[in-house]
């Protein structure tokens, strides 16, 4: 029987079936061949091309399995990042969307037997946040981009600075109000009495001279000299009181001015990473492979991000400065001061003061070459590559 015509119903049906998804058990990942039925898969397994692929895979099976596992993990995480971002989503929803593509890497060719095992592995390695519910496993992608982390830290730092400014302003206003209250004399509260009549025919009369009689009598007893001296004394007291208030106001303003001047005079900066220094990776987000391992900074980007090369494995990574710390070498080794008064100055480590978390350095470059500097904190210098 001859082959069906290209436009015959059978040929069109076969092409439609070939475009769609087929059963996973009839797919050969090594040859990337999808069969439509069991007989076709059996014929493919007996073919010469399949046998050649099996011979190649038998020489180094771990290499092929690792390759397929890396491809599957990379495409799965890329779909999760691009499609769902950092949202919490059911793992089966992501998997169904991933396998909808006909040319995807099948899970039976990877190191994971089930989707649950793969989800648990993502949680252990720190790629995603995973949690189990009665409805199944949910995953949430962790954004480890240094630029995103730096942007979040800058926003938090800005919020904290705004709060500090508001608290400082509120405290300054409270101090002014408190000082104003302390300068005033407490006023006597008026005493109210009830009006009573002895009989109903009696008329109520107010004697306004009673209130004025007291001061006039006291002034007569003091004499004319006391009356003349009283205003001068009062003026002097008020003058002294005004001076004290002015002094208090000036002291409060001076405190704020001094704080601003100290900020301006400070020579420390919030970025310290420099090229050609040795650092240590302190983040666990990259996995145990890079945690507590040393690297060399090759390039600095945007003051807060660096391209590093791992010393033991040679891998190249892009890290934020918050994910690194300085490395303290043995005495006698060369270091670079990365922060403080002597920033960008090379030096030689003379001794380490452990209880003060500082060291003594001998400057080896610049105009102050040969000068001994004490009390340099650990985070202000690092080993030169």
Whether the predicted pLDDT of 297 surpasses 90: yes
> Would you give the DSSP letter of residue 302?
T
- Is beta strand 324-326 parallel, antiparallel or unpaired with respect to 316-320? unpaired
Q: Six-digit token pair at 202? A: 């009696």
Angle at alpha carbon of residue 187, lines to 181 and 189, rounded to 5°: 135
Q: At what angle do helices 209-222 and 224-265 cross, to 10 degrees?
A: 90
Residues 37, 22 contacting (CB under 8 angstroms): no
CA-to-CA dists, residue 63 to 75, 111, 312, angstroms:
18, 11, 22
C-alpha count within 13 angstroms, C-beta hemisphere, residue 145:
9
102 pLDDT band (50/70/90 cuts)? low
* Per-residue pLDDT, 262: 64
Query: What pLDDT is attached to residue 58?
Result: 72
Q: For residues 325-342, give the mean pLDDT.
A: 90
Q: Which residues contact 280 (CB under 8 A, 6 or more apart)?
A: 292, 293, 294, 295, 324, 325, 326, 327
User: In this predicted model, what pLDDT tens digit does every residue of 336-369 receive, in sequence order?
Assistant: 999 888 888 899 999 998 888 899 999 988 778 8
Cβ within 8 Å of residue 272, ≥6 positions away: 321, 326, 338, 339, 379, 380
Helix and strand totals (H; E) in the chain = 9, 15
Mode of pairing for the β-strands spanning 88-90 and 27-28: unpaired
* The predicted structure's pLDDT at residue 294: 93
pLDDT higher than 70, residue 233: no
Q: How far apart are the first and last CA of the chain?
A: 75
pLDDT exceeds 50 at position 314: yes
Looking at 302-371, which runs of residues are DSSP E strands?
Answer: 305-310, 316-320, 324-326, 334-337, 345-353, 358-363
How sure is the predictor about 328, in pLDDT bands with cuts at 50, 70 and 90?
Answer: very high
| Tokens (6 digits) for 280 | 């240590």
Q: CA–CA separation, 157 vs 164, rounded Å?
A: 10
Task: Confirm if 116 and 124 have CB atoms less than 8 A apart.
Answer: no
User: How far apart, in whole angstroms, are the C-alpha atoms of residue 361 and residue 329?
Assistant: 12
34-55: per-residue pLDDT in tens?
777 777 788 888 888 777 777 7
Specify whether the CB–CB gap between 79 and 71 falls below 8 A.
no
Cβ count near 338 (within 10 Å): 22
DSSP string, 122-184: HHHHTSEEEEEETTEEEEEE----HHHHHHHHHHHHHHHHHHHHHHHHHHHHHHHHHHHHHHS
Phi and psi angles of residue 307, each rounded to the nearest 5 degrees, phi first: -95, 120
> Pairing state of beta strands 381-383 and 334-337?
antiparallel
């Amino acid at each position: 029987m001859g082959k069906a015509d290209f436009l015959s119903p059978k040929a069109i049906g076969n092409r439609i079936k070939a475009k769609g998804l087929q059963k996973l058990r009839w797919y050969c990942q090594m040859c990337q061949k999808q069969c439509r039925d069991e007989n076709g898969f059996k014929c493919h397994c007996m073919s010469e091309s399949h046998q050649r692929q099996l011979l190649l895979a038998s020489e180094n099976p771990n290499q092929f399995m690792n390759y397929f596992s890396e491809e599957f993990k990379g495409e799965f995480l890329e779909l999760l990042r691009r499609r769902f971002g950092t949202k919490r989503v059911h793992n089966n929803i992501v998997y169904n969307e991933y396998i909808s593509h006909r040319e995807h890497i099948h899970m039976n060719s990877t190191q994971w037997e089930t989707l649950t095992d793969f989800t648990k592995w993502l949680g252990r390695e720190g790629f995603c946040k995973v949690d189990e519910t009665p409805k199944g496993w949910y995953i949430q992608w962790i954004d480890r981009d240094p630029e995103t982390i730096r942007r979040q830290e800058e926003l938090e730092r800005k919020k904290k600075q705004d709060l500090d400014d508001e608290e400082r302003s509120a405290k300054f206003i409270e101090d002014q109000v408190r000082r104003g209250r302390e300068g005033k004399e407490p006023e006597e509260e008026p005493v109210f009495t009830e009006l009573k009549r002895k009989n109903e025919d009696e008329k109520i009369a107010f004697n306004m001279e009673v209130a004025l009689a007291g001061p006039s009598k006291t002034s007569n007893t003091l004499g004319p000299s006391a009356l003349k001296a009283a205003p001068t004394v009062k003026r002097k007291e008020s003058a002294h009181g005004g001076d004290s208030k002015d002094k208090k106001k000036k002291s409060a303003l001076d405190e704020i001015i001094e704080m601003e001047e100290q900020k301006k005079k400070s020579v420390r900066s919030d970025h310290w990473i420099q090229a050609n220094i040795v650092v240590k990776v302190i983040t666990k987000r990259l996995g145990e492979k890079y945690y507590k391992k040393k690297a060399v900074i090759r390039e600095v980007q945007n003051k807060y991000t660096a391209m590093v090369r791992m010393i033991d494995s040679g891998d190249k990574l892009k890290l934020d400065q918050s994910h690194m710390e300085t490395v303290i070498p043995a005495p006698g080794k060369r270091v670079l001061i990365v922060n403080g008064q002597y920033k960008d100055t090379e030096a030689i480590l003379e001794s380490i003061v452990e209880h003060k978390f500082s060291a003594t350095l001998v400057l080896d470059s610049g105009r102050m070459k040969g000068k001994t500097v004490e009390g340099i904190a650990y985070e202000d210098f690092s080993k030169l590559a």
